[in-house]
Amino acid sequence: MTPDAATPHGAADAPLSDVHVHARLQTHVVRVLIAGQILEGIGMGATLSLGALLAAELSGSNAWSGMAATMSTLGAAVVAVPLARMAQARGRRVSLATGSLLAGVGATLAITAVAVDIFPLLLLALMLLGAGSATNLQARFAATDLAMPKTRGRDLSVVVWSTTIGAVLGPNLFGPGEVIGSALSLPPMTGAFVFSLLATLAAAVVYSWGLRPDPLLTALAVRSGGPTTSHAARGGFAILRSTPKARFAVTAIALSHATMVALMSMAPVHLRDHGASLSIVGLTISLHVAGMYALSPVFGALSDRIGRIPVILVGQALLLAALMINWLGDGSQTPMTVSLILLGIGWSASVVAGSALVAEAVDVTDRSALQGFSDLSMNAAGALGGAVAGPILAVAGYSGLALAAMLLVFIVVAWSTRRLAGNQR
């Protein structure tokens, strides 16, 4: 049997000694992850759009606004593999709490950077805030550590969905954030970072105290037949070289994320250039984020039922629809809002189904390594997308940016179609 066709049979596939204990533990893990994701969502959502606006203001040019998304996704990429290795060695509890604390440090540095008017310090702060995004991403995989194969997509997607609450609420804290910032004598547009700091610290507490027993360490112990703290695992590159399923899944996630980041990162600047207020910008981004997370349980259940690749293709169709609207549109607020919602929904379908494919591509002893490499690839692609989005926007406008992003969609569609033709779902 080839690695691509192999079905992993680790702890997530084999029941614990008592199936009822297994079910209760998985339910507890998912509930803790949901609570943490809500808090992380507030932390990230409260500053999602402000980074681009602050980057443009401190640098003096809109061309640098894309660096906000670039640095955030780059930061998530940088910590993805170390957090995965930490999870493998010390468990999800330590890994997720550490990522949340790093994001809290980033929120503090962002306020400091604006106060002292140092653009490079803001970029460093945004990198550290990216650790919160990396934590969000790894939390979805934590939901699969003890999940049964027939519900793996559902459990993963429910945790992804829970981010909706905080991520939609977060951008609407811009106004209250300014009130808080004024009361604390903080610089303009930095008050929301206070909410980010408090939320990420609370998430760290939830993960640290709630994930007991640790789901990944439990799964590894079951796989090895008893308690152990040392597990031989391959690196991400080695896994990709030997596992076509993993190569496809990682690429589909990375290119879908790059498409979303490129368009979303430029949306606040584009809207402001067309006269939108800060409140309108926040509302538009909230709707986009709602699209990213609100329907994820639907796509998770659908991927369990009809297969991962068909759902990835649904996501690509939605991404293409969003890009077409932006390419053919006139830049007005309503078409752009619709396109950003579709962009979020397409991202959700692609990433949820792709993540389930990553989780089942290899045995449990290799999963954290592959998951870390997947998040590294995803965020590196997003960082590159955000980096090139600013110059493309300056030269070709938002419609030109949408046209350029269509190439990424076509690559995923072609590869997905080829695998379906080979009856690999």
**DSSP classification of residue 10:** S
pLDDT band at 291 (very low <50, low <70, confident <90, very high): confident
**Average of pLDDT values for 48-59?**
80
pLDDT band at 204 (very low <50, low <70, confident <90, very high): very high
Lowest mean pLDDT among 61-65, 329-333, 403-407: 329-333
Q: What pLDDT score does 19 carry?
A: 59
Residue 332: is it exposed, middle or buried by C-beta count within 10 angstroms (0-12/13-18/19+)? exposed
Distance CA 350, CA 254 (A): 10
Kindly indicate the confidence band of residue 7, based on its pLDDT and cuts at 50, 70 and 90: very low
Q: Which residues of 398-407 are buried (b: 16+ CB within 10 A; e: fewer)?
A: bbebbbbbee
Higher pLDDT among residues 158 and 174, named by residue: 158
CATH of the domain spanning 19-226+234-421, picked from 1.20.1250.20, 3.30.710.10, 3.40.50.1220, 3.10.20.740:
1.20.1250.20
pLDDT over 70 (residue 5): no
Quick check: bond before 213 cis, omega within 30? yes
Average pLDDT estimate for 39-60: 79
Q: Would you state the pLDDT for residue 167?
A: 66
* Contact assessment for residue 42 and residue 170, using Cβ atoms and an 8 Å cutoff: yes
Give the model confidence (pLDDT) of 375-389 as tens digits. Answer: 999 888 888 888 888
Task: Give residue 270's pLDDT band: very low, low, confident or very high (50, 70, 90).
Answer: low
Average pLDDT of the chain, as a whole number: 84
pLDDT of residue 10: 35
Give the best-scoring range by mean pLDDT among 3-7, 84-88, 408-412.
408-412
The mean pLDDT of 59-67, rounded to a whole number, is 75
CB-based contacts of 334: which residues, under 8 Å, 6+ apart?
A: none
The angle, 0 to 180 degrees and rounded to 10, between the axes of the packed helices 152-169 and 19-45 is 30
Q: What is the pLDDT of residue 137?
A: 85
Q: What is the pLDDT of residue 35?
A: 94
Domain boundaries, the chain: 19-226+234-421
Please state the pTM of the whole predicted model: 0.77
Kindly tell me if the per-residue pLDDT of 12 is higher than 70: no
The pLDDT assigned to 4 comes to 38
Tell me what pLDDT residue 202 has: 96
Q: Confidence class of residue 223 from pLDDT cuts 50, 70 and 90?
A: low
Whether 154 shows a pLDDT value over 50: the answer reads: yes
CA distances from 379 to 12, 208, 254, 258, 374 (A): 26, 25, 7, 8, 9
pLDDT tens track for 318-348: 999 999 998 887 667 778 888 889 999 999 9
Q: What is the pLDDT of residue 260?
A: 92
> Per-residue pLDDT averaged across 88-114, rounded?
94
Indicate the range of 2-6, 182-186, 224-228 predicted with least confidence: 2-6
User: Residue 294 — pLDDT band, cuts 50, 70, 90?
Assistant: confident
Residue 227: the pLDDT is 47
Check residue 228 and give its pLDDT: 44
pLDDT for 362 equals: 85
Residue 163: pLDDT above 70? yes
403 within 8 A of 323, measured Cβ to Cβ: yes
424 has pLDDT over 60:
yes
pLDDT band at 48 (very low <50, low <70, confident <90, very high): low
Closest CA to 359 of 280, 213, 241, 249: 249
Residue 116 scores a pLDDT above 80: yes
Per-residue model confidence (pLDDT) at position 1: 36
What pLDDT is attached to residue 330?
61
- Residue 18 pLDDT > 80: no
